[in-house]
Each structure stands twice: as structure tokens, then as C-alpha cells.
């Protein structure tokens, strides 16, 4: 295998990337970075107005498909539509998710199941559908958006933590099964990133913000592009020998004391 050289090593030119939950927040940051690296990006989500606004901002080389990842049986049709409209899907980013902040003892089975269906079953359905074509082509990259909740205990997030922790096992198992076929599987685990959602949450809880910053060796929150460029790296030729990895992008909080 030839060794790519800079800057081609980090280029996604020719790639067709589907990013679920791609209309806002970290998903949009990943889409923006991949688009900037040359990929044709397709944003997937449930809210058309957000997807349309995001693709207008990205410009040529971007498009969107309204799709609910919890409609598990529709995953193959989504992959087929991408292939018909743009070309074979070569890079899948499983980023769609929902949040639930609630005490573990008060979280109902229905609430727990809803979170798992979106994160875990939705990601599995799309990964399974996309991987079949990647195996045939002997190439592809699949990326999961994990979390600090995958790595250590965070109160009031029992369902979310279970879902994001499941990603760790999914990445490792998928990597073991798919890597012999040329398909790499990895995850990015964002730390505390400054998004509109996190700003609202932390603005009302200054003690929590101080606790986060105190535990973070770099002493600040990350920005969405930190996750976007990490996703580009893991999907690029520069990471051609990287698979089964959970990459924390967290300012050191997962190793801080």
C-alpha cells in the first residue's frame, strides 16, 4: 500500500459522507470539516428546516435527506438513495442522538428504550446497511460520536451513558469484523464542547462549569471544529492503519485529576 503525502493524506476528495444528526451542533461541525476536506456531504436528520439551512451555508457539494434513524427498516433505502443521487456511500458518521437528564431511579423503561433505539439500534441499522457495500468495494470508514459518558460516570445520564458506552463495544466489534475487508471503524469521544446547547446548560449552573474547567488540564471548553477535524483525520488516508479506536477530544479531562 502506498503511503499518502501531505496534504493528500488528510484529503477526503472523492468521498461520499453521510452524517446523521448533521444539521446542527457537533454533527454540523463534522459535516463542515469533511466538506472543507473535499468530501461530498449528505446531512441526515428529522428537521428539514435545519438541514436546509445547513446545506445552504455549506454550499455546493452538500445536500440533505430527511430521515429518522429510529425507522430501522428504512436504513437500506437511505443507503440506496445516497448511491442513486450522489454515489456509493464511503463514509458514515453515526452522530444522531437524543439526550435525557434524569435520575437513574426515575428513568422509566420507555425513556431508556427510546434513547437506546436512537443511539444504538439506529446506528447499528445504518452501519449494517452501509457496511455491505463497503465490504464489496473493500474500502470505507465508519465513525461513531461517543462521549465522555462512554468513559466515566456522569450523574443523571443513565440512559445516555448506557447508549454511548455501547458505542465502545460496537466500534471494537465492528472493527474486528470489518477491518479485514478494508473498512475501518472508529469513534470520537468529545469532551465538553462549547455549543449553543452547552452554553445554555452551563450558564445556569456556574458551579458545574467551574468543576468542568478545573478538571480539564487545558482549562477551557473545546469548540465544535475540534471534533470536526478529528473526524476528518480518522476518515482520511492519514489514518489508514487506525481502526477500533475511541479518540477522546477533551482537553485532557479523561486523564485529568
Active site residue ranges: 160
Residue at grid coordinates 466538506: 35
Indicate the SS3 state at residue 142. strand
Distance separating the N- and C-terminal Cα atoms of the chain: 42
**What's the half-sphere exposure (Cβ side, CA atoms, 13 Å) at 222?**
24
Q: How far apart are CA 46 and CA 179, in angstroms?
A: 31
Query: Phi/psi at 152 (nearest 5 deg)?
Result: -150, 165
Q: Are strands 246-249 and 183-190 parallel, antiparallel or unpaired?
A: parallel
CA 86 to chain CA centroid, nearest Å: 21
Amino acid at each position: 500500500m502506498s503511503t499518502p503525502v501531505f496534504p493528500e493524506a488528510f484529503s477526503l476528495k472523492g468521498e461520499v459522507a453521510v452524517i446523521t444528526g448533521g444539521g446542527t451542533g457537533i454533527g454540523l461541525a463534522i459535516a463542515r470539516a469533511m466538506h472543507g476536506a473535499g468530501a461530498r456531504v449528505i446531512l441526515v436528520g428529522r428537521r428539514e428546516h435545519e438541514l436546509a439551512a445547513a446545506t445552504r451555508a455549506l454550499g455546493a457539494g452538500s445536500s440533505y435527506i430527511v430521515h429518522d434513524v429510529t425507522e430501522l427498516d428504512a436504513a437500506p433505502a437511505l443507503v440506496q438513495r445516497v448511491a442513486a443521487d450522489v454515489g456509493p456511500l464511503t463514509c458514515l458518521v453515526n452522530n444522531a442522538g437524543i439526550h435525557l437528564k434524569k435520575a437513574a431511579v426515575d428513568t422509566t423503561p420507555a425513556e431508556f428504550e427510546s434513547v437506546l433505539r436512537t443511539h444504538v439500534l439506529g446506528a447499528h441499522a445504518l452501519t449494517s446497511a452501509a457496511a455491505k457495500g463497503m465490504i464489496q468495494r473493500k474500502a470505507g470508514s465508519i465513525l461513531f460520536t461517543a462521549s465522555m459518558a462512554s468513559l466515566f460516570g456522569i450523574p443523571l445520564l443513565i440512559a445516555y451513558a448506557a447508549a454511548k458506552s455501547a458505542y465502545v463495544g460496537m466500534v471494537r466489534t465492528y472493527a474486528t469484523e470489518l477491518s479485514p475487508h478494508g473498512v475501518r471503524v472508529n469513534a470520537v469521544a468529545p469532551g465538553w464542547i462549547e455549543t449553543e446547547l452547552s452554553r445554555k446548560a452551563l450558564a445556569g449552573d456556574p458551579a458545574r462549569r467551574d468543576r468542568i474547567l478545573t478538571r480539564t488540564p487545558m482549562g477551557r471548553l473545546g469548540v465544535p471544529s475540534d471534533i470536526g477535524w478529528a473526524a476528518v483525520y480518522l476518515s482520511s488516508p492519514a489514518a489508514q492503519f487506525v481502526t477500533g479506536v475511541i479518540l477522546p477530544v477533551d482537553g485532557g479531562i479523561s486523564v485529568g485529576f
